[in-house]
Amino acid sequence: MAEYAGMKIDTFWHVIEAAQAGAVATGEPFDEVLVKQLAERPRQEILEYAERFDELHDALYRWDVWAAAYLIGGGCSDDSFMDFRAGVIALGCQWYQRVAAAPDSLAAHPDVVQTAKVRDRSEVLFYEDVNYVASGAFERITGDADAFYEAWRSFRGVNTESDNAVVWARISTSTTKGR
């Protein structure tokens, strides 16, 4: 059996950069352009995009990156850190690589420089909607908000019952921790 190769990294970054260019050209938000562009691709490619996105997103799950997010945002919860990492991916390959190598390099990013003196910096690089573009593309294709998650479980080979048990265990653990 051949090993699954998924979406090549160059293809992934091409998709991101095409969406950036489309957002500049149309004035539409980057995430909306990305959803439209992904919705034009076969479902398998959308799932491969999501897999590559998760890989890159997870690679930024580091304390030094979180520290940069904390400083830029004037604080950073775990949910905000998810959004921050999505925002870094939305910056494109060059900035992603810079941040992965040296998170402090974000201090030179034009958006960070421009908003350094603004009191509410919570939106700088914290781009929640980028986390959900693959599911948005699936919904656009199918008209079903749950279609992506069903396809994702099948794509990843996840057992739905055990997956749901893990999710519910996490939810109940996180809600009892705050009490």
pLDDT digits (tens, 9 = 90+) for 37-71: 999 999 999 999 999 999 999 999 999 999 999 98
**Amino acid letter, 113:** V
- The pLDDT score that the predictor gives to residue 66 is 96
Do 22 and 33 touch, CB atoms closer than 8 A? Answer: yes
Tokens of 11: 């293809």
Rounded Cα distance between 127 and 124, Å, is 8
Of 129, 112, 134, give the one whose Cα is nearest residue 30. Answer: 129
Q: Please say whether the beta carbons of 12 and 55 come within 8 A.
A: no
Give the model confidence (pLDDT) of 149-179 as tens digits.
Answer: 999 999 988 654 544 554 444 444 444 444 3
pLDDT band at 127 (very low <50, low <70, confident <90, very high): very high
